[in-house]
Structures are given as structure tokens and as C-alpha cells.
Structure 1
């Protein structure tokens, strides 16, 4: 079986003149190498495809793959994450992770929160500011929190994102509207703990593997998991694997959100606790970073006893299950049992799900 790999390489876009911030979500060469090496270890043939334009050129030439491992983020518009899956759908080529509808909707945080609210899951009250005229329509109690409606990696978030009065609201919205050329999401500021929950699987097979608490150090930008805090996380942020009752509630809400939104294979859900002690959905990342050492999901996996190889294996397993492709199991049963005994999350991640069931 041949698996193609689609991705956006950060250094390529930097060479074209894009800024560090514009390319913050794109991947490093060692991420692509890690994915490719792991797929080969699992017995697959691989081929690097690259970004959406490279994919388009190869599709026109008649190239085909049995599966595409897609981590391409895209560069323009609300549908940028949906571009590669849309092309692959048009050519009837299966791929990992979520479909175009899910990727487009979940990139727009306001639309995502509307769905979450309809699912009766907790999320902070919000308003979407499309123009400066919309600012006067915002009728939410202070403090508030402002961020671009369709960015990731903390882009557009800094210490000024926590808003305490109307003057600050006008100033911050004006800056964000001008800088990012997109609407601004305004939410009630939540004062409590912040979690990111890792999810592996699709639909009823999806499981919440663990919850990381994001703890800002004294020297970090206060109150906000900002672009600077994320870019310099080794110095500014502490990540703690937590298992208390609040973390378990966060995992429960995250899993309901993941299933309700129709996300697939693997990703993360971010939550923050409100003044009543309830974890609230903030946003979902259905195309989460997958660097083996620096990305939240692989870090979380390693902390709960799931190796990088097993993570990649389970992502592929979830994708291939949708198209009923069967290949021999790749993980020796003896090693599987050893991992299962050492791990604390056996009840959340059944050991049988660590083997490709084809």
C-alpha cells in the first residue's frame, strides 16, 4: 500500500516572503521525516506530495495513492484547511483526518461555537464582529476576550486580548480587523484552568486519551495562551498531565464535542473553566500538530504510554476503517500487552485499539 503525504513546509513559505507569524501553523522538515519514517516502519510505501498546488499538478498528471496522510494547513481563506481534502474527494482518493466540511466549519470559531451551543455543551457567550459597526452591538459583561475568528497557534492573541472596557474593545477589534482581514470573535473571559484534550478515533470509536493543563509561568504573558507564549512554550509554559475530577469532566465534554462536530482520526479540543467550575469548549483542532517532540498531541500520547508509532498507526487505522481496507496487524501482540499493563489509561483507550484490525 502506498501512502502519499501532503503538508505545508514552513521554510518553503518563508523563502517566498511570508512572515514567521503567517507560517506559524506550518510544519518543519523533521515533522515530515518523522511521519514518513514511521509509516515505513509500519510497512507502507510512502511518497511526499507537498502542498495543495503540488497535489493538484500531480493529480492532473494521473498520480494516485491508496491513502493520503494529510497535514496540509493551507494559506488563504476560511476554506484553506479544506483545500487538500476537497481535491482528494474529487479524485476519489481516501485520506486521514477530517473532511472538507468539518475542516472549513471548525476553522471559523464562531460557527463552531454555534454548533457546540446547539449540542447543549458549555461554551462562553460570544459575539462575532465583522465590521467596526458591529462593535457597538456587543452586549456582553466584562472582562471579555478577543481573537481572530479563523486563526490558530495563538495568532492575534496577546496580553491586550483580555478586554476590560468599551474603549479597549474598540481598540483591539479595530487592530484585529485591520491586521487579519477577518472577523473577530468576542467571548466572555473565563478565569479558570485551561486544558487541551487529546482525541484519537472517529465517531463511537473515538476516545479521549488524556488532558494536559496549560500553566503559564511567571514570566509569560498573563492570562492568555498567546502567540508568544506558544512560540516560546519551553520557557513560558508548563504542561501537566492531569487526572482530577475537573480534567475528567473536560475529557467528557471534549469527546462529546469531537463526535458532535464530526471530527475524525485524531486531534485536540481546548477548554477553559468558567467561574462556576465548569470546563467550557473553546475550540477544536481537527488537524493538530504532529511533531513527535514539540506538538501537544504526541506529547500527551507519550505521557499516557502511547508511542509515536502507535499514534500514527491508530490514525491510519481509523482512516482505513472508513474504506474497509484490510492489511495484517502491524504491532506485535506481546508488545501491545506490555504497553497496556504499563499505562494508566487502559479504561479510556482499550488495548485492542492499538492494533490495526484489518
Structure 2
């Protein structure tokens, strides 16, 4: 089998990049997956996406791998561009892991995702999108509130100052988002309670891996209990040290079932595929609220998803192989590799096959002088 791992290598492109650490982490994930899969005769090629020239399209068109593992979370250090990657892979007719362009777009546009969740009856905190400071006059939500960039993930843009308790603090936090990230701000009701993550694996059937929970340490005794960007990416910082994740210990089986069902409903609403994670805040009364949906969540061996898999008896190499099998089965209707070449039989369409009708009508771009495939 021939697998291509597509990942963004753009963390050094911007001099002032508020998401640099998150972008750099993708390279480590790509390396770990490559090592896990380069066994049993599998050929694995690492293909970086470095800038907006998109040279990887020509590389993949020539390579024709059996599967693309899509780890690309940004293009040219812009996370909003991650949604074009599945479009280009669909254009090439190549099977790939994880979310479609639609799912990534919905998850990236947090306000639209929340509108969809509300329409589906999935509980999520009340919210408002703010495009200009003048729009704040129309925001009518009870304090406390939390302010986030509306088009980022991985806790980018979230600090302890993101939780606000009055109009003055709200204006400052929204102004920071608008000026720093040049995108709308999402103003959301802050839900006090536990922060619990539900990792999901598979399609039909889909199952929840063991749940995990953030343990907020002493540092947060007089601070909002939230996972900031520093808490997620800046090892050694007080936020990082005081927000370890661990197994979620629930004695109430009905509550656990409610959390899993809420996560399943949210993931299905955004048409998530293969694997992902849904983040919940749970009130002391046991009411879950969806605060984020991660269709292509972090697959680093020490990240939460892989840890949850290990808790379920799935080591990292087995997890990598399962992700490959799940994506191939969804694409082809069975997990075996596609047979290529003249005279190869066409596989019957499955109900969830995500393909353009053939490649005959696709005109490949002119070959560039240097393909970035190292």
C-alpha cells in the first residue's frame, strides 16, 4: 500500500504568528504516523504544504497514492485555508482520512456550527457573532461571557482575559480579537463546570473512546477554569502545568450516556467522518453543552485522542492502521486498497462515497520547476 501524509509546514512563515506552536506540532504528528505505518510493506511519503502555490497538487497527481492522510490544518499560516485541502483531494479523486471540506468549513465557522447545533436541538451555549465593535450594542447575553476568534481552533486567541464579567471587559476582549486575528469574534455564554472531551472513532458504527477530563489545578483557584492557548501549547507555563487531562471518572452511567449521545449528535450534525473529538462543558446539574467540535483532532501519540485509544486497548500503531482502514472502507465500501491500472474493475458506489465522478475531466496544472515533496 502507498500512503501519502499531507501536513502543513508553515509555522515559520509569519513573524508574528499567534498560532505558531500549534502549527509546528503538526510536523511531529506527521512523523509519528509515518513511523507507525512504515511497516508490513507500506510505503509512506511525507508531503509538506508550505505556501499558497499548492505544489502538492502536482505531486499527488503524479504519485497517485492509495490513501492520503490529511493532517493539513493551515495554508501559508492561515488556518482559514485548511478547507481547500479536501476540495483539491476530491478534485484529484484521491481517498483521504477525516473530514470533508463541508465539515471543516462548518467547524471552522464557529457561529455557523452553533446555529446548526441549535437547529438540531443539540445543547450549546448562547452566543453572538461580532464583526465590529459597534455590533456590541446588540449583544444581549448574561455575564460571564467568553470571547474567542470565530475562525480559529486549538485554543488560538484564548487567554485568561477571554472570560469577561462586564461590558468594559467585553469590549476589550472583542477589540483584541478583531485587531489581532482580523476576523469576527464569537461571544459565548461561559458555562461553569467540568470540561470533558468525547473522542469518536469510526463511521458505521461509530463509537466513543474512553472520555477524558481537564483537571484544573491550584493556579486556577482565582482564575476562569478554561484551557488557554498557553495551557495547550506552552509547556512549562503555569497554565500548561495546571491543566493536565486524565480519564473522566463518572459514577452516573446515565450522565455518561448523555454526554456520549450529545457528542455523537454534534459530530453528526457537522457530518464528521472517521475520527474526531467533541468538547463539552458540563454543569454541576449534569447538563452538557457543546463548546467545540474537532473533526480532524490532534493525532500526536501523547495527545488526548491517542491516550483515549490506549485506554481502550488500542496502541498507536494499531490506531494508525485503523484510521487507514476506516477511511478506505468509507471511500471504497471495503478496507482493501484500490486496484489501479487499465482494466481494473470499477468499485460500486457506496452510500457515503465522497468522490467527483471520475478524473477524466480534470485538467492538471502545469508542472512546476520544483515539487516540494521532501
* TM-score normalised by the chain length of structure 1: 0.84
Q: Which runs of 5+ in 2 are unaligned?
A: 338-374
User: Are the aligned partners of 1:149 and 1:184 in contact in 2 as well (CA < 8 Å)?
Assistant: yes
CA separation of 1:29 and 1:186: change in aligned 2, threshold 3 A: closer
- Mapped pair 1:302 → 2:310: yes
**Distance change (3 Å), C-alpha of 1:275 and 1:149:** farther
Q: Give the superposition deviation at 1:277.
A: 2.6
Is 2:279 the partner of 1:270?
yes
Residue 229 of structure 1: aligned partner: 231
1:36 aligned partner: 34
Residue 181 of structure 1 and its aligned partner are, at CA, apart by 0.5
Structure 2 CA distance, aligned partners of 1:235 and 1:161?
19
Q: Measured at CA, do residues 34 and 277 of structure 1 come closer, stay the same or move farther in structure 2, by a change above 3 Å?
A: same
**Whole-angstrom distance in 1 between the partners of 2:325 and 2:98:** 11
* Conserved 8 A contact 1:156-1:176: yes
**Distance in 2 of aligned mates of 1:286 and 1:278:** 23
CA distance in 1, matches of 2:140, 2:26: 42
> Are 1:290 and 2:299 counterparts?
yes
- Greater RCO, 1 or 2 (C-alpha within 8 Å, sep 6+): 2
Q: Which has the higher helix share?
A: 1
- TM-score, normalized by length of structure 2? 0.81
Q: Does 1:50 align with 2:52?
A: no
The answer to whether the 8 A contact 2:73-2:79 is kept is no
Among residues 247, 256, 261, which one is paired with 1:241 in the alignment? 247
Alignment map for 1:117-266 (pairs within 5 Å): 117-202=118-203, 204-220=204-220, 222-231=224-233, 232=235, 235-244=241-250, 245=252, 246-266=255-275
Distance in 1 between residues matched to 2:19 and 2:259, nearest whole Å? 31
Which among 325, 337, 340 is matched to residue 317 of structure 1? 325
Ranges in structure 1 where 5+ consecutive residues have no aligned partner: 329-358
How many residue pairs were aligned? 322
RMSD, aligned CA: 2.1
Question: Cα distance 1:253–1:43, how it changes in 2: closer, same or farther (>3 A)?
Answer: farther
Deviation for aligned residue 1:20: 5.8
Q: Quick one: distance in 2 between partners of 1:279 and 1:196?
A: 11
